[in-house]
Amino acid sequence: MLLAQLEAIDFSDQIWWYTVRVTGIVSVFTIAGGITTGLVTSGRFFGVKPTIPWLVDLHQLFSSITFVLLAAHMAGLYLDEFTSFTVRDLLIPFESNFANERLWIGVGTLGWWAFVIVDLSSRNRKRLPKKLWHSIHLLVFPLLAAGLAHGYFIGSDTDNPFFVLAVVIALALIVLLSFARLLRR
């Protein structure tokens, strides 16, 4: 119903394309922010046990913002008349072959579903065994890799040096924190 109302609004021809680009780019950094805050929280780098409540809240906020951004990313693809994605194309991995990019669109769809699984498991964390929840939560690393591969191979902003530098810095921070967390164990 909301999508039908949005379709009826007379926007610029490219509003949905810009929506797709912006939400894709920003979601890379909200996912990275979520992973970073999660690593800092779980690594207890500040020596606080069990953790700092505001940092957990920030971690959850990054997750919620990412969910909204990825949903808006997919809605923008659906609403953009040039791309003509169907709901089926957006939800079933490797269904769409827009611009002969079946593989990388499918990788993005798999990343979406991995995010949904991680997010749902987090919202139901108290109902799941700790080891199961932790195993599911580790999907954030391949999820980030899937999102980056999706964006790199079919995104239109991967040649922007500022974007590339920001991604490299975010990834370096994640790698550094991951190693530091592993060494703390």
Rounded Cα–Cα distance for residues 54 and 41 (Å): 10
Find tokens 């060494």 and name the residue.
Answer: 183
Global pTM?
0.90
- Give the pLDDT confidence of 126-173 residue by residue, as tens digits: 999 999 999 999 999 999 999 999 999 999 889 999 999 999 999 999
Running DSSP on this structure, what letter comes out for residue 52?
-
Measured in degrees and rounded to the nearest 5, phi and psi for residue 117 equal -65, -45
Tell me if 141 sits within 8 A of 111, measured CB to CB.
no
- Give the pLDDT confidence of 39-92 residue by residue, as tens digits: 998 887 777 766 788 998 999 999 999 999 999 999 999 999 888 899 999 999
- Give the pLDDT confidence of 87-115 residue by residue, as tens digits: 999 999 999 999 999 999 999 999 999 99
Rounded Cα–Cα distance for residues 76 and 24 (Å): 10
Domain chopping of the chain, boundaries: 12-184
